[in-house]
Amino acid sequence: MSYRELFAEAEWSGVVQAPMLAGFAVTAADPNGLIGAVQESAAMANAFKAGSEAAAAGSLIAEVAAAYETSEGRSVALAGPRELAKGRKPAEACAAAIARLAETAASLRETAPAEAPAFCDWLRDIAANVAEATSEGGFLGFGGEKVSEAERKTLADIDTALAPPTG
């Protein structure tokens, strides 16, 4: 049985969208122009690929990565950020993406508990790679900081959203 069959359709869409939303949240936290967006998109793609290549065959990560190889899967993946960005300011879209990641993490812990930790770690890696893709606040590529304060806060918020409940 595939992991997709374990989830309701809306939950599976959330799982497929989660890698995109992890990167999108960081990008929305501190937008930095066209070149920065391209660099962050490339970092997201590279982190996605690295995680999916390292994943065990038959794992949830491998199944989600396979979904991205289909036009239907890519459409589902891109729908999440589009929906969350529409009519929202970047900070609002960032918060909405983090809330969606928290919902997905809860669904993962309930439906595929053995896969949830590795999947959430993959999402954290994607977000961290996006945050480190560009320098913030410099001039012509010089100076600035590798990860902005807004991005650090977003990474902490993503970590909290993906963490299992305590207590």
pTM of the model: 0.90
One-letter amino acid at 91 equals A
Helix-helix angle 9-29:149-162, to 10 degrees: 160
One digit per residue, the tens of pLDDT, for the chain of length 167 reads 799 999 999 999 999 999 999 999 999 998 877 777 788 888 888 888 998 888 899 999 999 999 999 999 999 999 999 999 999 999 999 999 999 999 999 999 999 999 999 999 999 999 999 999 886 666 655 666 778 899 999 999 999 999 998 86
